[in-house]
């Protein structure tokens, strides 16, 4: 399955808040439930599928990419669900988003693809690049002034957009620093990651 390029509000209405996909919020209309089946009695498979889709669309992954990440978690010690989220959170495009250098993860991916981002003084144009503790991320060339405007705008948003503890943003030197691997408590996503692992355990 390829990366989703269709209407984003359609996905948000179905899966609820996905801050990495878009910063905008759709207007909801009240609907009359036609189904006589209570919403809390949805099948286990549907619950697993929805959690999987939340991760896919929030981080902007293809089905193949997410499957590969799940396979990696099975080879690493620790909670597979937590390791999965840590791998995704430490992607370069997500780090840029969490630093406030882009309003969305697709926007961050575009910066990386266009070679505007340096990691430890080397150009990195791979959005899935796994950042490590002590990595220094800087902005290259003419994009600096434009990004400062974006950062200022993002900083004025709600508290939920504040920079997490595993990252540091130094605007005076136009750089971000990865302090450590992100902790689960700092991953501010309403996702039941073990349901995602359960979904793929039947398919891998």
Series of mean pLDDT values for 10-residue runs along the chain (204 residues): 50 55 52 50 81 88 93 86 94 92 86 92 96 93 69 55 84 87 85 90 72
Q: How is residue 156 annotated by DSSP?
A: T
Q: What's the pLDDT at 178?
A: 97
Q: What's the pLDDT at 125?
A: 95
SS3 of residue 183 by DSSP: coil
Residue with tokens 């080397």: 122
Give dist(CA 3, CA 63) in Å, integer. Answer: 8
Q: What's the pLDDT at 34?
A: 52
What is the CATH code of the structural domain delimited by 8-23+40-88+187-201? 1.10.1050.10
Q: Check: CATH 3.40.50.300 for 92-180? A: no
Sorted by sequence, the CB contacts under 8 Å of residue 172 that are 6+ apart come out as none
Q: What's the pLDDT at 151?
A: 65
Domain regions of the chain by residue span: 8-23+40-88+187-201, 92-180
Q: What's the pLDDT at 113?
A: 93
Question: In angstroms, what CA-CA distances link 193 with 138, 172, 189, 201?
Answer: 31, 37, 10, 13
Give dist(CA 175, CA 144) in Å, integer. Answer: 10
């Amino acid at each position: 399955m390829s990366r989703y390029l269709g209407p984003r509000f359609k996905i948000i209405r179905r899966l609820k808040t996905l801050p990495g996909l878009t910063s905008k919020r759709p207007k909801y209309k009240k609907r009359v439930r036609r189904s006589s089946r209570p919403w809390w009695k949805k099948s286990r498979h549907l619950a697993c599928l929805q959690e999987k889709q939340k991760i896919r669309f929030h981080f902007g992954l293809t089905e193949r990419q997410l499957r590969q990440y799940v396979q990696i978690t099975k080879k690493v010690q620790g909670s597979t669900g937590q390791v999965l989220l840590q791998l995704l959170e430490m992607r370069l495009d997500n780090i840029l988003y969490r630093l406030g250098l882009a309003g969305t993860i697709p926007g961050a991916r575009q910066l990386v693809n266009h070679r505007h981002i340096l990691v430890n003084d080397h150009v990195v144009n791979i959005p899935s690049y796994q950042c490590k503790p002590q990595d220094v991320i800087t902005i290259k060339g003419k994009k600096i002034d434009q990004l400062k405007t974006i950062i200022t705008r993002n900083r004025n948003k709600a508290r939920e957009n504040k920079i997490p503890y595993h990252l540091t943003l130094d605007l005076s030197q136009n750089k971000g620093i990865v302090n450590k691997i992100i902790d689960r408590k700092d991953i501010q996503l309403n996702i039941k990651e073990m349901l995602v692992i359960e979904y793929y355990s039947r398919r891998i």
